[in-house]
Structure 1
Amino acid sequence: MMIERAGKWTAALLTLLAAFGFVLGACGGLADESVAPKQLSISMFDRGQVSSDEGTYRNNRWVQWIREKSGIYVTFVPVPRVGQDRLNVLLAAGEAPDLIWEYDRRYIGMLASQGVIQPVDGLLETYSTVYRNYLKEHPELMPYLSFNGQMYAVATRRPVTSVANHAIWIRQDWLDILGLQTPRTLDDLLHVAKAFRDRDPDGNGQADTLAFAGNEKADIISALFGTHRNEWFLEDGKVKYGPTTDRYMEAIRFEKQLHDEDLIDKEGKAGLQAWVDGKAGICLCQWSSPLLTDLMNNDADARPVPLEPAETRWGTYGLYQEEPPYIYVAFNKKMKDPETAVKYLDWMLEKGWSELVYGTEGEHMKTVNGIPQMISADKYRKEMLYAYEYAVLRQEKGWESALSAKAAPDPLSQRVARLQEEALQVALKHPYRRDFPYPPNFVEMNETITSIGQTFDTIKAKAVRLGPNYSPEWAMQEIRKEWRRAGGEQAEALIQVWYDNNKAGMMVMAERIGG
């Protein structure tokens, strides 16, 4: 198997290192040079952010730093950002890493139901100190980490800057050039979008401008209608799954209209490039996105500003927000040394995360009034942006009111930071609709939803992209048919009972999460 072959190679390397006196110091490393470092493997997402002169996701300055500071020889196993299929293959072949992480709680639940990951309650009780104490301080995380009464993952809490991470950016300079008002309703937004498409806002005399671009289209559009593909909602007191609601059908209708009328990019990255090149007027992305800096680097006259969510016939809903846990880290059932895994996570939470997130003092950042201020935006982007996700556990502060204090001191970085502070406030202005403060803890149900999600996405894509023969009504009919076929109605009944029995506790938990 892959990991066994890698283990033989690693063992040979460690023998060689030991022969040259490879000893780690008091920073958490080995005290006895005759003892080889412990070994551990962990997954991570390959986002293509490591430049060739930095190395690869498997081997770079930060991988070496982690090994040195933790005293553990950590091997990283990159998977695609949409990496569940690759992880499933590795698990089926018995070659998955010791630690597996995902943002998707439902995927962790599916792995738990398949018996390929193990409960961590006992491991934490036996081996952990740092994370065990952290969890006592954050009991609101437990409903997210537990399935059928057992804890199957560890996670830390997101700061508010990571919870409310989406934004709608609009070119204020284009609005001014065309004499348009800031859009407040969906009709207003469509009117502005058509003007951006048709009225030559960049003034070059060519029909080459795009209304909408961005890499968060699906979540942002769904949130406008108070729904989401992975969440449960209450409709007149009855539990309904997000993609089966009428509001989801209207979200499909709106996105389809954008496609049918050539108001939105249809090529993904090509649309992002249009925004960066100053050829798109509205970006559905994140408030912290580098796309903002890229645009203003290319067009000094661009004036992007954050736009509030548009009002629909159901009212005004907030932009999509993440659940409180950051990364769900699970333990492969076949791992040979769970003690080392727990010790590694304790080290990461206590000491390791900060430098991976903010960089090295004096090189990437300097501490000013207790806040880590970036020294150079370009240096950080090249040497630090890819390191962020190595810190799978962290105690990060958002400093949401001091983003400009964190940013590099150059004028562009400060300008972007002030805009981001404004965008974060806009993102928090309207509450995101989440009817359940934490999701139902049914492993089997998470597995069903994970498996059927791709089917729903395929149906939606057909309706959005393939013309009049695939209407939003057709899409909803197909989604509801597939939902019934998969046992969705029984699931709704089960979760209805769960909700009715847990309403009081959920209200208390909602207050804790909100705080």
Structure 2
Amino acid sequence: MGAKKSYVWKRQGYLVLSIILAAIVILSGCSDKPTDGAVTTSGTAAADSAKPAEDDPYAKLPNAVSISMFDRGLVSSDEGTYEQNRWTKWIQEQSGIDVTIVPVPRGTAQDKLNVLLASGQAPDMIWEFDRNYIGKLVTQGSIQPLDEYIEKYSTSYKKYLAENPELKPYVTFDGKMYAFTSKRPITTVANHGIWIRQDWLDKLNLKAPTTTDELIAVAQAFKTMDPDGNKKDDTVPLMGTTTTDEISAMFGVHPSEFIQEDGKIQFGPLTDRYRDALGYEKKLYDLGLFDKEYLTDKNNQRAIQNWTTGKSGICFCNWGGGNIDNWMADLKKNIPTAMPVPMEPVASKYGKYGLYQETEASIYVTFNKEMKNPKAAVEYLDWIIDKGWYTLVNGIEGTHYKLVNGVEQITNQEIYKKEVAYAAEYGVLRQQVVKPEDLLVSAALDPVSQELAKQKVKSLELAMKNKYRRDFPFQPNITEINEVKASFQTVQLEIKAQAILGGAAYTEQKAIDELRKEWDRLGGKKADPLIQEWYAANKGLVKH
């Protein structure tokens, strides 16, 4: 009887062992052969994803994150604040994440973020359009790599990045990803633009300028020949919110970017090109063609007022979108006969160049190294790029827009301007594609909106027709270069102001000599060979 019982147990043991082994084989086969469309995982990430939820250090934490936001002053008092409004409530409800918005003034955003980081009060997610700033945060150790979080917690963004691998170099520093980003539509690749009052040109029998000399001549006519017909000497011919960048671009240089000429890398504000651009801007000021306070008009309020009230005739601003749309609409409201039209950039002695254009990577969203719950942050960004962005950009269908041939058409420009325009940047990641002709369909149907939409299409086409000079897709993240540039920026602005305000005694040549001297003093002599070495090793990235 004992032998029989022993045999039965032994046979049952073999059966159980066979079942276990078969299960192992089946499970192994499943993990090696994903279904169509599945994203495979590997190594540690795959092992981690198989762990029970209770082993995830973030699984039991509150599903809450905070994120920075540019305060552009666009939220009306009856809409609320950047921290609390209809869209922050909508985000909470739709994303399932407890999101706290931390606004920072657009004009001093980096300074404010630096203070918040230094004091330990920075939000979980910090974002900027400026890749160089992200590089500084990497160097300072203020933010953390994201590769593991994306691999472990993301679905939508991981898929998006796999479909757009060209974005990865933009977010990679020292071999690791430090930011989320998405591709810009053409409407945000195009950035700067020039607008001119066609009705003033017609009244004075003038043509739009095509050279820097002609630009001065037209601006002087706007100043002295009373184009608005009010018989007062109150015209401010030129205004702008991007003036220095646009004037520099006409000379084929940028005040904060490196360029390559004759096989050598040079920092823009140290070049002869920048000297001449600065001299041109100085001349415009000396001739009284700018508002006397334009250098101290930090929020551009005087400039905007001059344009919207019909006192200025040429706007160095943006091709369209956002604020510029509002300024054009306000001008038409105040001066119904005004005819603002886009103008091509003018040629300088160096030739003709396009105005500033952005790289294909848009907003850079980073994770504070002190973040408590990166899992919640990844889930929030997955929701944003999957579907959240669409409503934040367009509003609510039936309330703010209707679909016309697949294009979102604004139903009421004033309502959209008040209730939706400020919300777009909450959508920090987007899968947005826009064609120039879509602008005609998307505009509200009132006559003013339609008229301005036609001009916006022309403006966008002009902006993209004239390619901006960018020799590097991005600046290398080299500590010595970041440090000297950060120190140099304040000095550069001071010298520029002295040159423009200093009259004949402070020439542009004196300014460029001072800039070169300060660059060397602050560490530029040590940084210069490093950028040359980088260039030698990465010539494939440089456009000639």
Query: Is the TM-score greater than 0.5?
Result: yes
What pairs up with 1:235-254 in 2 under 5 angstroms?
Answer: 235-254=261-280
Counterpart of 2:512 in structure 1 is: 476
8 Å CA contact 1:160–1:398 kept in 2: the answer is: yes
Name which of 106, 109, 113 aligns with 1:83: 109
8 Å CA contact 2:131–2:474 kept in 1: the answer is: no
8 Å CA contact 1:107–1:447 kept in 2: the answer is: no
Deviation at 1:468, TM superposition (A): 2.7
What pairs up with 1:94-493 in 2 under 5 angstroms?
Answer: 94-265=120-291, 266-267=293-294, 268-288=300-320, 289=324, 290-493=326-529
Deviation at 1:141, TM superposition (A): 1.7
Separation in structure 2 between the aligned mates of residue 120 and residue 230 of structure 1, nearest angstrom: 28
Separation in structure 2 between the aligned mates of residue 407 and residue 115 of structure 1, nearest angstrom: 45
Give the stretch that moved more between structures: 120-129 or 329-338: 120-129
Counterpart amino acid of residue 67 in structure 1: Q
Counterpart of 1:24 in structure 2 is: none
Separation in structure 2 between the aligned mates of residue 505 and residue 287 of structure 1, nearest angstrom: 27
8 Å CA contact 1:148–1:443 kept in 2: the answer is: no
Counterpart amino acid of residue 373 in structure 2: D
8 Å CA contact 2:180–2:366 kept in 1: the answer is: yes
8 Å CA contact 1:167–1:306 kept in 2: the answer is: yes
Separation in structure 2 between the aligned mates of residue 504 and residue 182 of structure 1, nearest angstrom: 39
Counterpart of 1:43 in structure 2 is: 68
8 Å CA contact 1:143–1:441 kept in 2: the answer is: no
Give the stretch that moved more between structures: 379-388 or 459-468: 459-468
Separation in structure 2 between the aligned mates of residue 83 and residue 505 of structure 1, nearest angstrom: 29
Counterpart of 1:19 in structure 2 is: none
8 Å CA contact 2:259–2:472 kept in 1: the answer is: yes
* Cα displacement string for residues 247-276 of structure 1 (whole angstroms, at most 9, x for unaligned residues): 111111111111111101234321221111
8 Å CA contact 1:96–1:332 kept in 2: the answer is: yes
Deviation at 1:48, TM superposition (A): 1.1
Separation in structure 2 between the aligned mates of residue 504 and residue 115 of structure 1, nearest angstrom: 29
* Cα displacement string for residues 400-434 of structure 1 (whole angstroms, at most 9, x for unaligned residues): 22201011111111110000000111111221111
Deviation at 1:460, TM superposition (A): 0.9
- TM-score, with length taken from structure 1: 0.89
Deviation at 1:487, TM superposition (A): 2.3
Give the stretch that moved more between structures: 477-486 or 409-418: 477-486
Separation in structure 2 between the aligned mates of residue 332 and residue 438 of structure 1, nearest angstrom: 22
8 Å CA contact 1:198–1:207 kept in 2: the answer is: yes
* Cα displacement string for residues 176-208 of structure 1 (whole angstroms, at most 9, x for unaligned residues): 111212211111110000000001111121111
Separation in structure 1 between the aligned mates of residue 272 and residue 517 of structure 2, nearest angstrom: 14
Counterpart amino acid of residue 212 in structure 1: L
Which secondary structure state, in structure 2, belongs to the residue aligned with residue 487 of structure 1?
Answer: helix
Counterpart of 2:535 in structure 1 is: 499
Deviation at 1:47, TM superposition (A): 1.1
Structure 1 unaligned blocks of 5 or more: 1-34, 511-515
8 Å CA contact 1:143–1:438 kept in 2: the answer is: no
Give the stretch that moved more between structures: 340-349 or 123-132: 123-132
Deviation at 1:398, TM superposition (A): 2.1
Separation in structure 2 between the aligned mates of residue 115 and residue 37 of structure 1, nearest angstrom: 25
Give the stretch that moved more between structures: 432-441 or 274-283: 432-441
Deviation at 1:466, TM superposition (A): 3.0
Deviation at 1:443, TM superposition (A): 4.5
Structure 2 unaligned blocks of 5 or more: 1-59, 295-299
Counterpart of 1:93 in structure 2 is: 119
- TM-score, with length taken from structure 2: 0.85
Deviation at 1:470, TM superposition (A): 2.3
8 Å CA contact 2:83–2:103 kept in 1: the answer is: yes
Deviation at 1:444, TM superposition (A): 4.5
Counterpart amino acid of residue 270 in structure 1: R
Counterpart amino acid of residue 389 in structure 1: E
Which secondary structure state, in structure 1, belongs to the residue aligned with residue 503 of structure 2?
Answer: coil
8 Å CA contact 1:220–1:284 kept in 2: the answer is: yes
Residue 495 and residue 275 in structure 1: after superposition, are their counterparts in 2 closer, same or farther (change >3 A)?
A: same
Deviation at 1:376, TM superposition (A): 0.7
Separation in structure 2 between the aligned mates of residue 212 and residue 382 of structure 1, nearest angstrom: 28
Counterpart of 2:45 in structure 1 is: none
Separation in structure 2 between the aligned mates of residue 452 and residue 343 of structure 1, nearest angstrom: 39
Q: How many residues align?
A: 474
Deviation at 1:44, TM superposition (A): 0.6
| Root mean square deviation, CA, Å | 1.6
* Cα displacement string for residues 260-294 of structure 1 (whole angstroms, at most 9, x for unaligned residues): 11101234321221111111110111121121111
Residue 99 and residue 210 in structure 1: after superposition, are their counterparts in 2 closer, same or farther (change >3 A)?
A: same
Residue 231 and residue 418 in structure 1: after superposition, are their counterparts in 2 closer, same or farther (change >3 A)?
A: same
